[in-house]
Structure 1
Amino acid sequence: MRCARGGVTVAAVLLLGITGCTPQTTGSSGPERSAADGHAVSPLDNPDGTKPGLAPLTDAADRAEARALIQKVATKGRGPKTGYERDKFGYAWMDSVPGDVPYAHNGCDTRNDLLKRDGQDVRFRKGSNCVVVSMTLHDPYTGKSIAWTKSRATTVQIDHVMPLSYDWQMGASRWAKDKREAIANDPLNLLPVDGPANGAKSDSGPATWLPPDKRIRCAYAVRFAQVSLKYALPVTAADKQMMLRQCD
């Protein structure tokens, strides 16, 4: 089984509601669409989240493809937050994620996996090929470059694109814990970003928060849709409308 480019097949929602997805090679559109930093990859070319960053979608054909993907997302009202706790999704950045989640069981926690994936000029703790101590991040949300060091860890935070409390309200409260642990550590749902921007987002959906850098908003909407489709989680009607608007 393979993921469809930019999304997943219905058959991918099995067992825990997910399966591993083999990255698709780029089709007739040519080389991967990259950001100005030459590092970030378009979400349309990154259906499993294992490639770095979030490149803007500026081509009309790409934006049409993005809208077609977003149109597949189901909608429903946002449920109550009653009973939500972060630990209902497992402890933070666990490597022992059940199921077929990329990077799981590789001996490195999820946070460091994501810093390695998206960072440039990455340096590791002496004697380690896992613990990142410094790097440069081209932040997709603000468009700025961040010279990050572990001593100032919170300047870069790992964002759950589809926030965990949002997931809870849209149906994850009824999931088995294994599936909640999977979405919390799935690289498709995770982006290292500017800490203050992540704090401003909190648990908002696209109708109430979008990345400050307008160039990235269509790509952000695509990534939100990819997570929604992979985990069969609906979004609110207002969120879907806003997602489509970003790719007009």
Structure 2
Amino acid sequence: MKRWGPLAAGVVLAVIVAVQVLTQSDGERLARADIPTVAAGVDVLAGIPEIPARVRGHDYRRAAFGGAWDDDNGAPGGHNGCDTRNDILDRDLVDKTYVAITRCPTAVATGVLHDPYTDATVAFVRGNQVGAAVQIDHILSGAPTITASVCAAHRVDDMPLTATKRVVGPVVL
């Protein structure tokens, strides 16, 4: 009798494993039956309409956004004596030094940007050519379709603005 115990346990285990394998295989076969197949040589994209190249509108007016980098606003940093560009540089750069300029008594003179798009590290030094390495990007979905009042509200709102590395050409993200 003692010899039959391990043998019976082995048979029960084998039956349980067989049931599991057969049940799983049926489920996999059912799932695979729902997968569409395409005959060789069929262009699956032929039925999808192509969107024509975007035509750049000639109705863009920078003035619709109000005064460039205006400090006369209710956004964070507004009425602090610094224009919006300097507010964003102060917010987004690290390891900063400061200098007083006409548009801002505490303008960033030097700093380091960790670019949110490319993950590049950019050294910022104030100046016409060198300072241009860091741009301020407006992140506003649907910008071409927004109203004049929304443009005015967002021209200086620091939430949809971010400092970013100046890039010529497209960035592959």
TM-score (norm 2): 0.58
Q: Which has the higher helix share?
A: 1
Residue 143 (structure 1) aligns with: 119
2:79 maps to a residue whose letter is: H
SS in 2 for 1:140: coil
Deviations, residues 191-222 of structure 1 (Å, cap 9, x unaligned): 000011xx546xxxxxxxxx644xxxxxxxxx
8 Å Cα contact 2:135-2:166 kept in structure 1: yes
Unaligned runs of 5+ in 1: 1-77, 202-210, 214-248
1:162 positional shift: 1.9
Cα distance in 2 for residues equivalent to 1:94 and 1:171: 20
SS at match of 2:159: helix
**Structure with greater contact order relative to length (CA < 8 Å, sep ≥ 6):** 1
**Equivalence for 1:110:** 84
Alignment pair present for 1:185 and 2:145: no
The Cα shift of 1:170 comes to: 1.5
Question: How far does the alpha carbon of each residue in 1:98-157 deviate from its partner, in whole angstroms, 9 at most, with x for none?
Answer: xx4222111111000001101111111158752111101111111011111012111000
The 3 A distance-change label for structure 1 pair 171 and 118 is closer
Could you tell me whether the CA contact under 8 Å between 1:141 and 1:212 is conserved in 2? no
| Residue 84 (structure 1) aligns with | 60
Q: 1:110 and 1:126 mapped to 2: Cα distance? A: 15
Map of 1:93 onto structure 2: 69
Moved more, 129-138 or 152-161: 129-138
- In structure 2, runs of 5+ residues without a counterpart are 1-53
- 1:117-156 to structure 2, matched below 5 A, reads 117-125=91-99, 129-151=105-127, 152-156=130-134
Name which one, 1 or 2, has greater alpha-carbon Rg.
2
Cα distance in structure 2, aligned partners of 1:102 and 1:132: 17
Q: Distance in 1 between matches of 2:109 and 2:153?
A: 26
Distance 1:92 1:85 in 2: 12
Check whether the contact 2:81–2:105 (CA below 8 A) recurs between aligned residues. Answer: no
Cα pair distance change 1:171/1:82, threshold 3 Å: farther
Shift of 1:187: 0.8
> What is the rounded CA distance, in whole Å, between the counterparts of 1:89 and 1:110 in structure 2?
13
- Give the letter for the 1:144 counterpart: A
